[in-house]
Copies of this chain bind each other. A is one copy, B any other.
C-alpha cells in the first residue's frame, strides 16, 4: 500500500510500504477513508520533535474494517470506525478510569514499528479497546465526515482542555491559540455552557471560525497587550477558565496571567517551552491551577459523537483544504506556512 513517510525535517514522501495485516489476535486492519494532518505533526515536520528517518506519520483517521483477529469481538469487516489518536487495550486500570492515554499497552500511530494514519490502511492493535464504531449510514455522508474525523484528536483535545480548565455554565472562558485545537476548545466551551468566550488569535479567517463556534470576543494582541485586553474585558479579573492550545513559553505565560484568581488553565498544547512560562509564584498567590495534557480521546468520543451526529456541533469546520494521498506533502507545506488551517486527506 501507499503511505506517508517522514524522512527528515520538511521531507515528507508518499511511498510504497508493506500492506498491514493482522499480527495479533486482538488486531484489526482498517482501510482508511479519511485522515488528516495535525498541528502537532508540524513539530516533527519542522524538526523540533525528533523522528527516525523513514518513520510513518499521521494519527487521525476513520475508515472501514477490513480484517479482524480471532479475539476481536466488537468489530467485523465492513464496520465503519473512528480511531482516537492513540491506541489502548481498553481493559487496564487507566482505560477503565477513562485515561486511555496512560494505558501501558498503548501507543501512538506512526511510532516506530506501527502504521501511521496518513496511509491507505492501518493495523490497529487492541481493536476492541481502541476503535469506536460509527453508524453505518454515515460512511456515505460526505458532509459529516470532517466532523467525525475531528473527534479523533482536535475536538476531543479541545474538550479535554475545557474540562481541565473547569469550564462551567455561565463561566467566562478564554482560549489561547487559534489553531484547530483552540477553535475546537471554543466549541467545547460553548457546548459546556460557557457564558462568555474570549478567543485570542491574530488570523482573521480563524477567529471568524471562532466566532461561528461561539466566541463572543476576539483579542488579536499577544503577550502583555493580550493580558491587558483580557483584563479590560473582564473587569480586571481575568477568565475563570483558560484553554492553552499552543504550547510555547509565551502562550503559557499569557494563559496563566489572564486566569482569574481561583481559576484554572487547561493546557493541551504539546509543551515545547519547558516550564519557563509557568509562573509558579503568580499561580500560588492567585490560586491558579494548571491541568491538562494529552487528551484521552477514546474516553470522549462516545460522549461527543451524538452531538456531531445531531449537528449540534460541527468541528469539521476547521478543515479548510482537502487533498488526496499524493497531495499530503503539499498539505504539510500549506499548514507550515499557515495558508491552510487543517488539511483533510480523502482516500
Residues in chain A within 8 A of chain B (CB atoms): 93-94, 97, 99, 101-102, 164, 237, 252, 261-262, 264, 267, 270-271, 274-276, 278-281, 283-294, 296
Contacts and interface: CB of A to CB of B under 8 A. Distances in A.
Contact of A280 (B99, B102, B274, B285): B274
Contacts of A237: 93
Contact of A293 (B94, B164, B288): B288
Identical copies in the complex: 2
Given A287-B101, A288-B293, A293-B286, A275 B280 contact: yes
Contacts of A252: 280
A164 to B, nearest CB: 7
B278 A278 contact: yes
Contacts of A280: 252, 271, 274-275, 278
A271 B291 contact: no
Contacts of A261: 94, 99, 102
Given A252-B280, A275-B278, 8 more contacts: A94-B261, A97-B262, A275-B280, A283-B293, A285-B293, A286-B293, A287-B291, A289-B291
Contacts of A101: 287
A252 B290 CA distance: 14
A288 B291 CA distance: 7
A-B pairs, top 3 by smallest CB distance, nearest first, are A289-B291, A102-B261, A287-B293
Contacts of A287: 99, 101-102, 291-294, 296
Given A164-B289, A290-B290, A291-B291, A284 B271 contact: yes
Nearest to A271: B280
A243 B283 CA distance: 16
A51 B145 CA distance: 63
A321 B93 CA distance: 46
A347 to B, nearest CB: 31
Contacts of A279: 275
Given A97-B262, A102-B286, A281 B291 contact: no
A291 B292 CA distance: 12
B289 A294 contact: no
A293 B291 CA distance: 14
A59 to B, nearest CB: 15
B288 A289 contact: no
Nearest to A104: B236
A97 B168 CA distance: 14
A271 B281 contact: yes
Nearest to A270: B284
Nearest to A97: B262
